[in-house]
Structure 1
C-alpha cells in the first residue's frame, strides 16, 4: 500500500530552486576561454560545508525503474551534495521540504540528458536513482568528521510514477 503517487516533473532551475541547483550548460556561457574554444558556465552551484572540506567521489549505482517505491529520505546537515552524471542518461531526483525536522510531501523530478544537481545543505532527498546503465556519477560533497547523515523511513512509502 502506498501513501500516494508522486508524478515526475521535468527538472528546471525554477522548480528546483528551494532544494538546490540545476547543473547544466543552459543559456550563454559566462565567458569564453581556451582561445575561444570552450564556454565557461561559471559558479553554477552553491557548495556549502560546515567544518571539513570538499571531496570528489565516484558513485556506481544500480539502475531502478518507474514506478519507483520511495521509502527512504536522507539529508546532510553539514554540507551540500552535487551529483554529476557520467553519461547522457536522465535520472530520478526525489526531494522533500523540511517540516519541523522531518520531511514533508516529496516531489519527483526527471533530469534531462546532461543535467546534474546540487542539493543544498540539509535538503531531504531520496537515494541516488539512475534509470539506465551505467549508473556512474561524480559526486562533490563534504569530507570530514562528525555526523553528516540523517535518514527518515517513509511508512507507508510513496510511489513515483512517470
Structure 2
C-alpha cells in the first residue's frame, strides 16, 4: 500500500523553503555580448561549506508516472543544483522537516538548486535523455543521509 501525492507546478514561491528555481523568467538582469545575450544573474546560492564547488554530469534512467517514492536523501554539508541539458521537464520531490513529501514538475529547460540539508527524492527525468549538469560540494566528510519511508508514496499527475 502507498500514499498518493499529486504533482504541482514548480514555482519560485512554492519551492522557496527547499531551494531555488533556475530559469530565465522575466527580463534579463543585464545584456552582454554586444546586446545579443541576456544574463539572468545569480539565480541560486551555491553553498559548499568547507568544500569546493564541483560540476558533474549525471545520466539518469527515465522514470514514469505513477512513480513510487520510497526514499529521500539530503546533503548536510552543501547545496545541490540539477540543470537539465535538454528542454525536457523532470519530477522534483522534496520533503519538509517532518519528512512529508511534495512533488513538483519543472517547466521545460528549468533547473533547481536544493538548499543545504533539504530532503529530496532521487533524480527523476520523465522524458528525454536524462542528462544533467550537477553543481554541488566536493570535500571531506559525510555529505549524504538517506531516509527510507515505512510506507512508500505514489506520485501521480
What TM-score comes out, normalization by structure 1 length? Answer: 0.95
Out of 127, 130, 134, the residue aligned to residue 129 of structure 2 is 134
For residue 56 of structure 1, report the CA deviation from its aligned partner: 0.2
Q: What SS does the aligned partner of 1:14 have?
A: helix
Contact between 1:80 and 1:119, CA under 8 Å: does it hold in 2?
yes
| Unpaired segments ≥5 residues, structure 1 | none
Structure 1 match to 2:88:
89
Equivalenced residue count is: 157
Structure 2 match to 1:42:
41
Summarize the alignment of residues 108-127 of structure 1 with structure 2, pairs less than 5 Å apart. 108-127=103-122
Q: What SS does the aligned partner of 2:58 have?
A: strand
Structure 2 match to 1:156:
151
2-structure distance, mates of 1:141, 1:49: 7
For residue 5 of structure 1, report the CA deviation from its aligned partner: 0.6
For residue 20 of structure 1, report the CA deviation from its aligned partner: 0.3
What TM-score comes out, normalization by structure 2 length? Answer: 0.98
Moved over 2 A (4+): none
For residue 132 of structure 1, report the CA deviation from its aligned partner: 1.1
